[in-house]
Structure 1
């Protein structure tokens, strides 16, 4: 059974809020105005969920294998992300990670735990992509603006997150998946790259 500690819930909420504020500030052209207030709740769904659900997917699979897993906020990473966004004008977000404790984790278990995060991002990206025909371009429609922001940036960020995390190097999820099953890694990575390329060249 998956359970959450009070500290874990706190860390998840703080991470999502910080991520939402950072992306809202940058997407709003580094301006603090009324649009920023509208963007924050939209990006809390579009971006915050993408980051946090990615990590929680690792947790759920790890717990299913009988390991203890807990999400821990990386305070220094969040502070660095705020600094790069508000001072330098770009984003580098590393809100935290799921720490897994167990006596022995096999290559297969590690691969499946690792691929769970990118798969969630791919699923979210596809969901947002399916919703794009319902996005309105009427600038006076507030609810349409909020929905459109969630859909467009939800697709873009989740596509990029999936591709980025599947890079088969170092501590990235992709390296662990590749060691477990190169074919599954290859298929997943290709799908993520296709989505990321579409996100780069435009969702419409």
Structure 2
């Protein structure tokens, strides 16, 4: 997710201590939330399966989330923006709470960027995140042919990246899809529809893990 603000300064690729802390907190919280949804220890899953799922989520969700946000940041900087990730602590809390009831609302924060920018450039910054997730899904795909843990990582990596791509393309509020939809509905449909269909196919016909 990316959000434009008003101030302008000289752009550079750097990370503040606050940004690194927020990225780490969001990474850990999302990993736990996905684990609660996929191996609900509060509904009878064993401690071992829950801990394993936390580890798997940390690898798959962590890569998906981190590279999604870094893609926003890098593209924003390329367009002359000052860009920094900020976690939304209320939404992180909601992610945990929603996972406890079996539904995950994953909006852990956003890359906030500022500076003069066109509608197209803003859409390109937003598009970078979901496109990164779709590419990551392709990278995880070959791992699915392997048995046991490696295959599980591949399957989870594919599903989580497709889920994040589809979710972030929803044209609502601060999600990436809104600025893309407002800029070019054709490009929006070209990314959103395949993301939804592929994510649905994996859930219905392949399975989550």
TM-score, normalising length from structure 2? 0.83
Look up the match of 1:133.
145
Report the Cα offset of residue 54 of structure 1.
1.5
| Structure 2 SS opposite 1:202 | helix
Aligned match for 1:198, one of 168, 182, 201: 201
Report the Cα offset of residue 73 of structure 1.
0.9
Look up the match of 2:47.
33
Q: Distance in 1 between matches of 2:93 and 2:70?
A: 22
| Structure 2 SS opposite 1:70 | strand
Q: Distance in 2 between matches of 1:45 and 1:55?
A: 16
| Structure 1 SS opposite 2:111 | strand
Pick closer, same or farther for the CA change 1:170–1:9 going to 2, 3 Å.
closer
Equivalent pairs counted in the alignment come to 193
Pick closer, same or farther for the CA change 1:79–1:32 going to 2, 3 Å.
farther
Pick closer, same or farther for the CA change 1:163–1:155 going to 2, 3 Å.
same
Aligned match for 1:175, one of 173, 178, 191: 178
Aligned match for 2:106, one of 93, 112, 122: 93
Q: Distance in 2 between matches of 1:128 and 1:73?
A: 26
Q: Distance in 2 between matches of 1:169 and 1:14?
A: 25
Matched, 1:162 2:162: no
Report the Cα offset of residue 123 of structure 1.
0.6
Report the Cα offset of residue 64 of structure 1.
0.9
Q: Distance in 2 between matches of 1:96 and 1:78?
A: 8
Q: Distance in 2 between matches of 1:171 and 1:82?
A: 20
Report the Cα offset of residue 32 of structure 1.
5.1
Look up the match of 2:91.
77
Aligned match for 1:119, one of 131, 136, 142: 131
| Structure 1 SS opposite 2:206 | coil
Q: Distance in 1 between matches of 2:161 and 2:121?
A: 24
Q: Distance in 1 between matches of 2:167 and 2:23?
A: 21
Give a deviation string over 1:6-63, Cα, whole Å, max 9, x none.
Answer: 1111111111111111211221133351222222221111112212321221111001
- Structure 2: runs of 5+ lacking an equivalent: 1-11
TM-score, normalising length from structure 1? 0.85
